[in-house]
């Protein structure tokens, strides 16, 4: 299959008439799949109503079909078509954070969307992306769009069209290039079917922000216990991993450097994941900077790109610093732990 590269300037005044947007929407209406940018990562979209389209998403990604997908919409009116009810707290959150990087889990209406999109669950995960190109494509298609991240399953999520090309070239009909994404980690997933909403995946909207709007919020215990199966889309299996084994290291820079020295003496080519503040401290074969510790948003924005860059560097092992588990740091540490397979030294 030839993959077409469709470049779109997100600043164009009328995206809805842009030829590449129409082309992408027509592919979706024909039950094909299309990669497109959102404000978090690039998504791989397909018609959420049709098994044929959803099966193509799973096939392109190599994703297990028992892993539910997030449904993307462009207007609130679409919700009533496939959601049983909108709880009061969900409505408040939608008012505050939609469009944006918050996915809300609702009870679903049966028989409207493909059961394959929800992996047969009685609930459905929905978000309205903030990226103008994503919104324009969804609106032009006139469909709810199932869209996980546009990468091969298990690899770091894509934050540029080039990342998508590396993983899915000749596996999908088209990639819409709208430039680098902004936030860099996926949306927060919040289950609003419970009396006290529960975070199933930390992401672009922080726990602190949620609490400030609706009060008490719980965290899925599976996020801190790798033996429990998480309930969120995209969190059931190992994700985000570079080719080389990744280890998170607790403690000082000196401790990390000691591990680097030890492995280099054994003949390994060692990579280090660090920040601007500590760049000059480490003596490793490949030292990669993923942002500033003083600005965790910068780390989130470049995390996946940095993890992918270790593949080109051909290292044998990677040691990473750890980060504060608060604010967007909660999402950063969640992704790093998944990428490392929970290997912490």
Indicate whether 62 and 183 sit together in one domain.
Answer: yes
Positive or negative: CA dihedral 244, 249, 253, 256: negative
Query: Is the same domain home to 12 and 127?
Result: yes
- Nearest by Cα to 48 from 40, 58, 39: 58
Q: What is the mean pLDDT of residues 62-90?
A: 91
Instruction: For residues 73-87, give the mean pLDDT.
Output: 95
- Does a structural domain hold residue 234? no
Residue 329 predicted with pLDDT over 90? yes
Give 233's pLDDT tier (boundaries 50, 70, 90): low
Sign of CA pseudo-dihedral 61, 65, 68, 70: positive
The arithmetic mean of pLDDT across residues 42-57, rounded, is 97
Residue 228 has pLDDT above 60, yes or no: no
Cα 345 to Cα 339: distance, rounded to the nearest angstrom: 14
DSSP summary character for residue 279? G
- Identify the domain boundary among 178, 193, 224: 224
Q: Are residues 214 and 317 in the same domain?
A: no
Digit-coded pLDDT (tens) for 236-273: 555 678 899 999 999 999 999 999 999 999 999 999 99
Check whether residue 74 and residue 194 sit in a common domain. Answer: yes
Which pLDDT value is given to residue 170? 96
Q: Are residues 199 and 263 in the same domain?
A: no
Indicate which CATH number applies to the domain containing 111: 3.90.870.10
pLDDT band, residue 43 (cuts 50/70/90):
very high
User: Is residue 230 scored above 70 in pLDDT?
Assistant: no
Q: 38 or 312, which is more confident?
A: 38
Please give the distance of CA 118 from its chain centroid, rounded to a whole number: 17
User: Which residues fall within 8 angstroms of residue 118, CB to CB, at 6 or more apart?
Assistant: 68, 69, 108, 124, 125
Residue 305 falls inside a structural domain: yes
CA 156 to chain centre: 9
Choose one of 194, 224, 254: the last residue of a domain: 224
Residues 191 and 314 in one domain: no
Residues 211 and 332 in one domain: no
Residue 296 inside a domain? The answer is yes
Instruction: Kindly report the average pLDDT of the chain as a whole number.
Output: 92
Per cent of the chain over pLDDT 90 is 84
pTM summary value: 0.92
Question: Would you say residue 69 has pLDDT above 70?
Answer: yes
Are 32 and 142 contained in the same domain? yes
In a domain, 344, yes or no: no
What is the domain range of residue 274? 246-339
Residue 158: predicted pLDDT: 95
Tell me which range, 62-71, 228-237, 293-302, is most confidently predicted by mean pLDDT.
Answer: 293-302
Q: Residue 280 half-sphere exposure, CB side, CA atoms within 13 Å?
A: 1
What's the structural domain count of the chain? 2
**pLDDT mean over 304-308:** 95
149 Cβ neighbours under 8 A, 6+ residues apart: 41, 42, 43, 44, 157, 158, 186, 234
Q: Is residue 238 assigned to a domain?
A: no
Picking from 224, 255, 287, the residue at the C-terminal end of a domain is 224
Whether residue 240 is contained in a domain is answered as no
Let me know whether 30 and 121 are in one domain: yes
Question: Would you say residue 259 lies in a domain?
Answer: yes
pLDDT at 13 over 80: no
């Amino acid at each position: 299959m030839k993959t077409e590269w469709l470049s779109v300037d997100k600043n164009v005044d009328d995206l809805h008439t842009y030829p590449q947007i129409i082309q992408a929407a027509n592919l979706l209406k024909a039950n094909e799949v299309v990669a497109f940018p959102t404000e978090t990562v690039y998504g791989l979209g397909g018609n959420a109503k049709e098994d044929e389209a959803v099966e193509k998403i799973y096939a392109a990604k190599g994703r297990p079909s028992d892993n539910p997908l997030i449904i993307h919409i462009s207007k609130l009116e679409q919700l009533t078509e496939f959601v049983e009810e909108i709880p009061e707290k969900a409505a408040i959150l939608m008012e505050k954070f939609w469009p944006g990087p918050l996915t809300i889990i609702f009870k679903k209406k049966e028989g409207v969307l493909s059961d394959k999109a929800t992996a047969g669950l009685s609930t459905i995960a929905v978000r309205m992306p903030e990226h103008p190109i994503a919104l324009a494509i969804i609106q032009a298609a006139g469909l709810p769009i199932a869209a996980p991240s546009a990468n091969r399953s298990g690899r770091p999520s894509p934050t540029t069209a080039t990342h998508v090309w590396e993983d899915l070239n000749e596996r999908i009909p088209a990639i819409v290039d709208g430039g680098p994404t902004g936030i860099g980690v996926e949306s927060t997933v919040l289950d609003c079917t419970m009396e006290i909403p529960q975070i199933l995946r930390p992401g672009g909207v922080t726990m602190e922000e949620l609490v400030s709007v609706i009060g008490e919020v719980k965290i899925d215990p599976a996020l801190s216990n790798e033996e429990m199966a998480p309930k969120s889309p995209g969190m059931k299996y190992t994700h985000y991993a570079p080719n080389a084994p990744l280890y998170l290291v607790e403690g000082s820079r000196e401790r990390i450097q000691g591990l680097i020295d030890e492995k280099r003496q054994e003949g390994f080519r060692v990579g280090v994941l660090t920040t601007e503040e500590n760049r000059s401290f480490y003596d490793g074969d490949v030292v990669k900077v993923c942002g500033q510790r003083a600005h965790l948003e910068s780390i989130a924005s470049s995390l996946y790109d940095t993890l992918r860059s270790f593949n080109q560097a051909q290292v044998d092992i990677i040691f990473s610093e750890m980060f504060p588990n608060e604010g967007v740091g909660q999402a950063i540490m969640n992704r790093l732990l998944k990428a490392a397979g929970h290997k912490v030294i």
